[in-house]
Amino acid sequence: MRYKLLGKSGLRVSELCLGAMTFGEDWGWGASRQESKKMYDAFRKIGGNFIDTANIYTNGTSEKFVGEFLRKDRDEVVLATKYSNSTNPDDPNASGNHRKNVKRSLEASLKRLKTDYIDLYWIHYWDFMTPVEEVMRALDDLIRSGKVLYIGISDAPAWVVSRANTMAELIGWSQFIGLQIEYSLVERTPERELLPMARSMDIGVTPWSPLGSGVLTGKYNKNKKSASDGKRVEAIKDMMSEDYANRIVSDRNLEIAREVLNIADESGKTPAQVAINWVRQKPGVMVPILGARKLSQLKDNLGCLDFELTHDQMDRLNKVSEIKLGFPHDFLSSEEIRRITLGNTYSLIDKK
* Cβ atoms of residues 105 and 55 within 8 Å: yes
Which residue spans within the chain are E strands per DSSP?
3-5, 12-14, 17-19, 50-52, 78-83, 118-123, 148-154, 176-182, 204-208, 289-290
Please say whether the beta carbons of 346 and 334 come within 8 A.
no
User: SS3 for 70-101, per residue?
Assistant: CHHHHHHCEEEEEECCCCCCCCCCCCCCCHHH
- Summarize the chain as % helix, strand, coil (round to 5): 50, 15, 35
d(CA 252, CA 243) in angstroms, rounded, equals: 16
Residues with a catalytic annotation lie at: 57
Return the H-helix or E-strand segment holding 337.
helix 335-342
